[in-house]
Amino acid sequence: MILAAQNLTVPGRLSGISITLRPGELTAICGPNGAGKTTLLRALAGLEPGPVRLGETPLAQLPPRRRAQDIGYLPQHAHPAWNLTAEALVRLGRLPHRTSRAEDDAAALAALTALGAAHLAPRGVHTLSGGERARVALARVLAGNPRWILADEPLASLDLAHAAALLAHFRALADQGTGAKTGVVLVVHSLAHAMNHADRVIVLHKGRLAADAPPAVALSEDVIEHVWGVRAAWTGPAGARALSL
């Protein structure tokens, strides 16, 4: 089921964005600070007003429970107000579903395990490091088994090993199964991550769409110079490219 925006405009932040996202793809949203990346992701999640639809239905017309079942949104900064255990926080991702406690517990544990965080289940979230808290927050999203995962800079607090593992997990989610696949949309600052792991890259510049294409096209050296204002060069083989400034 596609997720699409048509001429999406948020005054002062986005202007005339039209994109169609497809399940089974890992899409990276890139751009300089203030380009509108977070605003676009929030609009795709239905948290900003605008002409966004899921399949043929405008998000504004979907019941809140249905929207929460289909779209899992991870904000850039997740700071729980209460010192819940990690397991209890992840179980909140099951709220849109009317299932049993046993099913909810199993889904929460599976999500934590998938992110290498099952050992954190009994810990209070206020005792976790930034990287641990980031993985638990994402596990809350995954526990809901949404059709779409929209994550705002999910790699920002992670060390190298956990960032690599998480990218591999996102890749597996997009690729899984032969039926209804998951759509994954990530805001990322690392252009190398986008180049090496995404199927498609959306580049924003001053609230407008600067590129929407496969990584090698959307993140060409000319686009980087135009959008980020630096002359850079890609080195290395496909899938393991590095950006030299």
Mean pLDDT computed over 107-128: 94
The first and second tokens of residue 123, run together, are 């810990």
Instruction: With beta carbons less than 8 A apart as the criterion, state whether 22 and 1 touch.
Output: no
Amino acid identity for residue 126 in this structure? H
The first and second tokens of residue 80, run together, are 């729980």
Mean pLDDT computed over 48-58: 94
Q: What is the mean pLDDT of the chain?
A: 93
pLDDT at residue number 178: 47
| Model pTM score | 0.94
Percentage of the chain modeled with pLDDT above 90: 79
Segment 57-100, tens digit of pLDDT: 999 999 999 999 999 999 988 778 889 999 999 999 999 998 89
Segment 155-205, tens digit of pLDDT: 987 889 888 988 988 988 888 754 567 999 999 999 999 999 999 999 999
pLDDT at residue number 180: 64
pLDDT at residue number 233: 96
pLDDT at residue number 177: 52
CATH H-level superfamily of 3-78+147-244: P-loop containing nucleotide triphosphate hydrolases (3.40.50.300)
Q: In whole angstroms, what is the distance from residue 226 CA to residue 148 CA?
A: 31
Mean pLDDT computed over 9-26: 95
pLDDT at residue number 218: 98
